[in-house]
Each structure stands twice: as structure tokens, then as C-alpha cells.
């Protein structure tokens, strides 16, 4: 098997080097302290849900050749490489999170979001509601429905129309994490910056743009959302309000108030240490002098009763590259391995992407408390974190008229000779993972780095015994010849498999 190191040619696509998770600090910390964390909980008779345990176990297999791989081969020079499988999880795996980020952004820009102005609306909720939304995902959708209707009504009225004569739409990305690895359920809504209205013959839609929201409008919207959400949760028996106080009822807490997940979620939301002798204290932070020229001061934002709404980021109809960058930002992984480091005394230091207003630039974790933060970032199974509303909803009869993919209600508007122009692979997927790598990172995995030939998948190796034999053969070959390397390719294949 010809195994060689890659040489990057000038002005050529970047060679994709296989990700070696065992060399990253995140992997090493999880590998060393995950068993200890579970033992610590077990010593107190506390056990985590099965989906959390599976997330960690699969993460420790992600990208490791010994747990299975694909063999890929260049059809020209017959150079072969191995492609490790991925865990495909949604919690804290940075590698799979990056792949999902690129996939989601390309899908939204290429197939969903029309060539019209878009605006990002971001809503944060009070601490008690963050706990409620994390522990009861069904409530998350109901609250989101209230938020969408409030903003959609605002846009429709501002454009001078009614719900019966105008339509708008949005795509919501529900983020579960904050910048300090804290649990922070909040909504990123990519809204049309205007409304569609029917043409006279009902054959097409015309777009009417609206102006950016003013501070007064944002304040009014925030009050409306806060009032409607509180009223809805009260009707469901999840929230009670007393004179100047709001608190969750027994129904607003998980079935077992003493469950370890409740305690871990609560600690993460409130920035407190979850395990160890310092349990209950605030997480240690490193601060610098606050920046007097606050860059956020110019962004329209409104706050009331713990709710925060801002809508300061927008894109024009022709700014598709900016829109895709925005989509990648709001679908990014929860953990940035580049901002994670180890201190001299063995603690974990995580750098904030943007320092807080009080000057906080880093948060410091003990290893076991860091593991507890990762636990809190794992969403419950079967919780959809991407939602489509209004004209973008799958059951909307207008979706086929406005989306670039021209699909809606199972139908697609086809251009002449489209069937003849598309290959079978193009019919299954609008863009392969390999093409997205090249599009976003200038990485070409479909072309052999040695001769420029086309790379194909020749086998999928999943049997543990066969895997061990192949890797043992490679290790022996390297030892005997003193040359060669383990395969350097990590990208998932172009067959539509999500590895």
C-alpha cells in the first residue's frame, strides 16, 4: 500500500491532513477524566442517562482508525489511504461539529434561503427558562412559535400588509451553548428582511423589504415576547408569578428533581462549579480591564425581565458569501479546541471569543468540572435544533416559489433538460461533502495529492479483527522499511455517507 506524505503545490487546493483526535487536548482530557467523572457520580449513587454515556463513548472512537475506516484508492497511480469513521454526534465533538456546520450552511444558502435581504434576530431568555427549555425540549418549540409569530407580525404590519395578504419566513438555529461553555439555550432566527405578496395572477410572489428595527420597536417586541411567553407557561402550569418574582413550578422541573442531570444543567447555566470540593461556587475567571469603546453599543438590542433581543446583523440580496459566513457562525461547534489550553497546575483554561463587558477573557475549570460542562452541552435525543417557519416550512405551498432548490410539499419546479443534465449522484445530493470541503476550505479530497488522479472508495472495513490485521500490517511495514506514514486523509467520502 503506497503511503506517502503530502506536498502542497503553490496555488493548489490545501491538502487535507487526517485529523488525529488523540493529539488534541480535548480528546486527552475526556479520555483521562471521563471514567473518573462517572466513578465520582456513581460513588454518590448518581448515574447519567444512556444518551450522555453513548455520546462520550462514541467521541472516544471518532477519527480513530482502530474503530473502522474506508479504503480509498487513486485510479491513476493506485495510491491508497484510509479514512476513519466519525461519531456523528451533536454535543461537543469539534470535528463532527465542523462538518455539520459546513453542511448546514451550504444547504441553507444553496437550497433554502432566497436571494433576498436577510436579518438575524437573536433572543436570549432568563436563567430559569434556560433550564426549562433544556430539560423539557417540547416547551422549546412552543416558545419558539411565540417568538416567530411576534416578529413575523411586526414585519408584516411594518410593510403595510396583513397576515392574509403577506407572508414572511425564517430559519431558526437553536444554540445550546454560550461563549464560556455554559448551557445557554437561545434562538438565532434568520428572517426575511421583509415580506412576500402575491402577484395579481397569483403565479408568483413579489418581495417588499422593510427598514431595520428601531430601538423602540425592539423594546416593544421584547416586552411582547416576554409577556406572551410568561402567559403561555402559566397556562401550562410550568411557571408561577408572584409579586415581583417568577419561578418554575414542580411541573417545570424534570421528573426527578434530584437527578444528576438537573444539578449539572443548573450549575452550567448559572456559571457554578458542579463537582468537587468547590461545588456550588462561581467558576473562576480571568479578567482584564474592560474595553471602554464597547463595540456592541452600536448594535440595536433590547432587554426586559431577563429577555434580550437584538437584530443588528443583516445581509443584502447579493451578499451570498456574507450570508453563508453568518450561517456557519450560528451553526458552529460548541467547543473550540483552539481556545482550550492547559495551565501549569493542570486546570483547563478556555478563552472567550469575545471578552465580556466586565473584562472577563478566560474561564478556568478543574478537569472534572470541565467534563460536567461537556455533559450539559449534549442535547437530548430526537430534538431538532433547526426549524423552518412560514414560507420556508416544508408544508408551505409557497416554498417552491421562493427557495433556490424550488422544492416544496414534495414537488420541485424543474428546468428544461434538468433530468438529462444531472447525474445519479447529483440527484441524491445537491453537493457532496468533498465539494463543500473545497468550497469552504479550498481542500480537494476527490483528487489524488500524488498524481492528480480521481480518488474512489474501494472498501469499508468495520470488522474489528480485519481492522487490527490491516493496521498491524501497516505498522510492521513502517518498522521494517523505515519509510511511509499512516494515512493522512480524514474527510468523509463523497458517497453520501455521514461518517
Residues 106-119 as b or e (16 or more Cβ within 10 Å = b):
bbbbbebbbebbbb
Of 150-164, 278-292, 354-368, give the lowest mean pLDDT range.
278-292
Residues 6+ apart with CB under 8 A from 14: 8, 441, 442, 443, 444
Question: What pLDDT is recorded for position 287?
Answer: 77
String of DSSP letters for 161-194 = --TTTEE-EEEEEEEEE-TTS-EEEEEEEEEESE
For residues 480-497, average pLDDT? 41
Is the confidence at residue 413, as pLDDT, over 60? no
Backbone torsions φ then ψ of 100, nearest 5 degrees: -65, -35
HEC sequence for 283-339: CEEEECCCCCCCHHHHCCEEEECCEEEEEEEEECCCCHHHHHHHHHHHCCCCCCHHH
- Tally the C-alpha atoms within 13 A of residue 352's C-alpha that lie toward its C-beta: 19
Q: Please, which pLDDT band fits residue 298 given cuts at 50, 70 and 90?
A: low
Q: Please, which pLDDT band fits residue 42 given cuts at 50, 70 and 90?
A: very high
Q: Please, which pLDDT band fits residue 85 given cuts at 50, 70 and 90?
A: confident
Question: What pLDDT is recorded for position 472?
Answer: 84
Question: What pLDDT is recorded for position 1?
Answer: 31
Question: What pLDDT is recorded for position 433?
Answer: 52
Backbone torsions φ then ψ of 169, nearest 5 degrees: -165, 165
Cell of 455: 480518488
Q: Which residue has the higher pLDDT, 475 or 343?
A: 343
Q: List residues bridging with 72 in a β-sheet.
A: 81, 457
Task: Give the whole-angstrom CA distance, residue 197 versus residue 167.
Answer: 7
Task: Give the whole-angstrom CA distance, residue 189 versus residue 312.
Answer: 12
Predicted TM-score of the model (pTM): 0.82
Question: What pLDDT is recorded for position 493?
Answer: 38
Question: What pLDDT is recorded for position 6?
Answer: 35
Question: What pLDDT is recorded for position 491?
Answer: 41
Q: Please, which pLDDT band fits residue 484 given cuts at 50, 70 and 90?
A: very low
Question: What pLDDT is recorded for position 461?
Answer: 83
Closest CA to 187 of 223, 153, 142, 231: 142
Mean pLDDT rounded to a whole number for the chain: 82
Question: What pLDDT is recorded for position 471?
Answer: 83
Of 29-38, 142-151, 440-449, give the lowest mean pLDDT range.
440-449
Of 106-110, 189-193, 451-455, give the lowest mean pLDDT range.
451-455
Can you give the residue ranges of every domain in the chain? 60-89+414-481, 97-278+295-335+371-408
Question: What pLDDT is recorded for position 11?
Answer: 47
Say how far residue 97 (Cα) sits from the centre of its chain.
6
For residues 209-221, average pLDDT? 94
Question: What pLDDT is recorded for position 438?
Answer: 57
For residues 317-343, average pLDDT? 94
Q: What is the pLDDT of residues 255-294, one digit of tens each?
A: 555 678 989 999 999 999 998 888 889 998 887 766 655 5
Is the confidence at residue 8, as pLDDT, over 80? no
Amino acid at each position: 500500500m503506497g503511503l506517502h506524505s503530502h506536498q502542497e503545490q503553490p496555488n493548489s487546493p490545501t491538502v487535507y491532513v487526517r485529523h488525529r483526535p488523540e493529539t488534541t487536548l480535548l480528546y486527552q482530557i475526556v479520555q483521562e477524566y471521563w471514567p473518573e467523572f462517572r466513578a465520582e457520580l456513581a460513588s454518590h449513587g448518581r448515574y447519567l442517562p444512556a444518551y450522555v454515556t453513548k455520546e462520550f463513548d462514541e467521541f472516544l472512537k471518532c477519527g480513530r482508525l482502530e474503530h473502522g475506516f474506508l479504503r480509498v484508492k487513486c485510479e491513476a497511480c493506485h495510491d491508497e489511504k484510509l479514512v476513519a469513521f466519525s461519531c456523528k454526534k451533536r454535543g461537543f465533538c469539534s470535528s463532527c461539529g465542523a462538518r455539520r456546520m459546513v453542511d448546514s450552511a451550504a444547504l441553507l444558502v444553496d437550497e433554502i434561503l432566497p436571494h433576498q435581504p436577510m436579518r438575524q434576530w437573536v433572543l436570549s431568555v432568563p436563567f430559569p427558562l434556560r433550564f426549562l427549555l433544556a430539560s423539557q425540549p417540547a416547551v422549546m418549540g412552543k416558545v419558539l412559535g411565540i417568538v416567530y409569530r411576534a416578529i413575523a407580525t411586526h414585519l408584516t404590519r411594518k410593510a403595510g400588509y396583513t397576515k392574509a395578504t403577506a407572508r414572511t419566513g425564517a430559519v431558526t438555529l437553536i444554540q445550546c451553548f454560550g461563549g464560556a461553555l455554559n448551557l445557554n439555550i437561545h434562538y438565532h432566527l434568520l428572517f426575511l428582511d421583509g415580506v412576500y405578496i402575491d402577484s395579481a395572477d397569483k403565479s408568483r410572489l413579489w418581495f417588499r423589504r422593510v427598514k431595520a428595527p428601531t430601538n423602540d420597536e425592539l423594546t416593544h417586541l421584547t416586552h411582547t415576547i416576554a409577556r406572551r411567553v410568561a402567559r403561555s407557561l402559566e397556562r401550562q402550569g410550568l411557571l408561577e408569578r408572584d409579586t415581583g418574582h417568577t419561578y418554575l413550578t414542580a411541573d417545570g422541573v424534570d421528573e426527578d428533581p434530584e437527578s444528576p442531570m438537573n444539578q449539572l444543567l443548573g450549575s452550567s447555566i448559572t456559571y457554578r462549579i458542579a463537582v468537587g470540593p468547590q461545588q456550588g461556587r462561581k467558576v473562576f475567571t480571568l479578567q482584564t480591564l474592560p474595553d471602554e469603546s464597547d463595540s456592541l453599543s452600536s448594535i440595536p438590542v433590547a432587554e426586559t425581565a431577563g429577555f434580550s433581543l437584538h437584530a443588528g446583523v443583516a445581509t443584502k440580496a447579493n451578499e451570498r458569501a456574507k450570508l453563508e459566513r453568518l450561517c456557519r457562525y450560528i451553526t458552529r461547534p460548541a467547543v473550540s479546541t483552539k481556545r482550550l489550553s492547559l495551565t501549569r497546575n493542570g486546570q483547563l483554561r478556555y478563552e472567550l471569543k469575545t471578552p465580556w463587558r466586565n473584562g472577563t477573557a478566560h474561564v478556568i475549570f478543574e478537569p472534572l468540572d470541565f467534563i460536567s460542562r461537556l455533559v450539559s452541552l449534549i442535547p437530548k435525543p430526537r430534538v431538532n435544533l433547526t426549524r423552518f417557519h412560514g414560507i420556508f416550512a416544508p408544508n408551505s405551498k409557497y416554498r417552491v416559489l421562493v427557495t433556490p432548490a424550488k422544492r416544496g410539499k414534495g414537488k420541485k419546479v424543474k428546468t428544461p433538460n434538468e433530468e438529462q443534465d444531472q447525474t445519479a449522484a447529483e440527484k441524491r445530493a445537491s453537493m457532496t461533502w468533498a465539494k463543500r470541503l473545497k468550497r469552504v476550505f479550498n481542500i480537494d479530497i476527490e483528487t489524488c495529492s500524488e498524481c492528480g488522479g480521481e480518488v474512489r472508495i474501494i472498501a469499508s472495513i468495520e470488522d474489528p479483527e480485519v481492522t487490527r490485521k490491516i493496521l498491524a500490517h501497516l505498522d510492521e511495514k513502517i518498522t521494517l522499511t523505515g519509510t511511509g506514514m499512516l494515512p493522512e486523509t480524514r474527510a468523509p467520502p463523497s458517497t453520501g455517507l455521514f461518517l
